[in-house]
Amino acid sequence: MSAALSQILTIFLAILAGFVCRKLGVLSEESTSALSNIVVKIILPFYLFSAILRTDVGVEARAVPLAVGLSAGMFLLSALVALIVVPLLRVSAEDRGVYLFELMCGNVTYIGIPVCAAVLGGSASFYASLLNIPYNLICFSLGIFLLAGKFSFKKILNPAFLAGLAAAILYMLRVKLPAVLLSGCAFLGQATSPCAMLVIGSVLAGVPIREIFSEWRAVPFVLLRLFGIAALTALLLKPLSIDPVLKGVLILMAAMPAATNSTMLCTIYGGNRALSAKLIFLSTALSLASIPLWAALYFS
């Protein structure tokens, strides 16, 4: 539990740093947009590629498609919940896509991978990285459409998705890449979470404090995002005879706060990034209690 709490607190320090940098003028609108592009298109692919291939966890090759398939099923479950709940919240047409996306996709990369590794250990970071393959496919297809009303087949084959897919294939084929290559990818990838949190903090700095807490719909949203979807996932996974670590990863990932990628995608392609940042901030703040709770009750 303390490991999960430590990871979330670390994330908040990075968000605070981004907030301060924007207030002091170190980060501007232009540099925030540029940083978003760097994270999504360059740093993140290196991170996912190295996270899958640098782990010597002894997971059988046939477990890889199973993990990816179950991950896709988790996102499908979240999407069904979102389609039922969001209309009940009477969200305005221009904001509906943000709520749909954030309920469908949690922060499975910047918080999810390190938290799973801290709580479950072993092969958890490997499985968590595989989960990001369908996640990035969703982000750059349905995600961009929901957030910005745009769609392009070219964006589906994005660097993060291709990097994760390539790494999974190389792992299944047992291809050994030079250690120096993987170390270099991991070195660049280490900047992924800090840079993403700087973007969130920078965007939040432009939102009046009172507006962050004025979104009443955020209350049912946060409850579903942090508890409801994870509880449904745990219920559906209970009868399955699969690796307990994979099962734990899927449940923890379903309990993650709102996806950080939404703010960066809104910054790059257009969209209500202020609402996105508010939902991320509020759900991440409450995850300080919810994720350690899941870790204590379910994984202790």
**pLDDT tens per residue, range 18-38:** 989 999 999 998 898 888 889
Contacts of 153 (CB under 8 A, 6+ apart): none
pLDDT band at 275 (very low <50, low <70, confident <90, very high): confident
Backbone angles phi, psi at 54, to 5 degrees: -90, -5
Tell me, rounded to whole angstroms, the distance of Cα 113 from its chain centroid: 8
Backbone angles phi, psi at 254, to 5 degrees: -70, -20
| pLDDT above 60 for 1 | no
Q: What distance in Å separates the CA atoms of residue 124 and residue 127, rounded to the nearest whole number?
A: 5
Q: Kindly report the CA angle at 18 between 13 and 23, in degrees rounded to 5?
A: 125
Q: What per-residue confidence (pLDDT) applies to 206? A: 75
Q: What per-residue confidence (pLDDT) applies to 299? A: 67
Over range 198-220, report the average pLDDT: 78
Task: Of 122-131, 227-236, 264-273, give the lowest mean pLDDT range.
Answer: 264-273
Helix axes 261-269, 29-38, angle to 10 degrees: 120
pLDDT band at 55 (very low <50, low <70, confident <90, very high): low
- Higher pLDDT: 88 or 149? It is 88
Q: Which amino acid is at 31?
A: S
Class of domain 2-295: mainly alpha
In tens, the pLDDT along 191-205 reads 888 888 898 788 778
Over range 192-219, report the average pLDDT: 79
Q: What per-residue confidence (pLDDT) applies to 26? A: 92
Mean pLDDT for the chain overall: 86
Q: What per-residue confidence (pLDDT) applies to 56? A: 64
Domain boundaries, the chain: 2-295
| pLDDT above 70 for 3 | no
215-220: long-range pairs with CB below 8 Å, 24+: 215/275, 215/278, 215/279, 215/282, 217/89, 217/91, 217/99, 218/278, 218/279, 218/282, 218/283, 220/85, 220/89
Task: Of 21-30, 149-158, 170-179, 261-270, give the lowest mean pLDDT range.
Answer: 149-158
